[in-house]
Structure 1
């Protein structure tokens, strides 16, 4: 009898198989690792889709249309580092001190500072802004996300997994009679408490 391959975690996973087993209080379920890992990965993707953002730290290379201001919100956050910024293929250097010309950033936004018109290179328009034209003329390479998944997000995913794991025995049922009593099941996409935990991280402003 061949041994099934070990389940493979994905970079998008928001918890671990060991933590799932501990939460389910089921460290010895036979031949369930592959199913639990699949459920773990699916719940992680569902949570991040609902939050409209990625959580684990990753590298991104993206193009943006400018805002016409000195501020640009990046799609993924918290921003950990910025490797390069280009505007219409002209490279913007990081500001050496947060005062002199260049770009700076915080955990959410990229800023242009101290760039008079000529310093922005060979293009027209207002100085010191991310230009709106042409579209997608701004290129950003950066690293963003959490090195460690926040505990409340991980807890929300564990509760989602536990709900779906228990739902295997009554899939599609909203209630059933047990010993003369009616037992009701949760049929929503996720419990209200899970939505509350994830809602703290939901990106509500499109970028």
Structure 2
């Protein structure tokens, strides 16, 4: 989860009776954000196999930021840790180095990289977006999302819209999507 129940409860000043609901809303908001961004934010170890059909100056690892690289195996041969380095942890660029630490690129073949990537803690701006999404869901849970206006002057006059009035992008309110855009993973097809 991208935030804690305690942080959401403190912001909403909600009663303990809402704990189960808030936990569910946090889980849903976290999943929606991770789907939108195309990434998991939690640091985790994994192995990635990259098949190269031509020489490459650098490898681009799928998960970022890269915390550490445990091993690199090139065409069945384990490489000495001094023979590779992460150029930019945020971009996930992995360089192959010669004895004088100059980049020499990656040859055709199969590269297996075991590494840890992600965040040790949720970035504060991502956590803020998660809390904002929980608040939106919490406060709108008992109202009709298509109700545009209500006039109680001489008893009631209601109007509805066929389209929700909140602009969305990728399933998120547009303002939250905009704040998360820097965390979206770009995929090359």
Query: TM-score scaled by structure 2?
Result: 0.79
- 1:174-185 correspondence to structure 2 within 5 Å: 174-179=147-152
What is the alpha-carbon distance in structure 1 between the residues aligned to residue 60 and residue 166 of structure 2?
37
Report deviation, 1:172. 4.7
- Structure 2 counterpart SS, 1:61: strand
| CA distance 1:86–1:160, change in 2 (3 Å) | same
2:68–2:115 CA contact under 8 A, matched in 1: yes
What is the alpha-carbon distance in structure 2 between the residues aligned to residue 156 and residue 68 of structure 1?
41
Report deviation, 1:94. 1.1
- Structure 1 counterpart SS, 2:39: coil
- Structure 1 counterpart SS, 2:172: coil
Match of 2:65 in 1: 78
2:55–2:105 CA contact under 8 A, matched in 1: no
2:147–2:158 CA contact under 8 A, matched in 1: no
Runs of 4+ in structure 1 over 6 Å off: 181-184
Equivalent residue in structure 1 for 2:9, among 21, 26, 34: 21
Deviations 1:134-185 (A, max 9, x none): xxx2211111111121111100111111112223112552424143587985
1:174–1:187 CA contact under 8 A, matched in 2: no
Match of 1:7 in 2: none
What is the alpha-carbon distance in structure 2 between the residues aligned to residue 57 and residue 94 of structure 1?
21
Structure 2 gap segments, 5+ residues each:
none
Would you tell me which structure has more strand in proportion to its own residues?
2
- Structure 2 counterpart SS, 1:63: strand
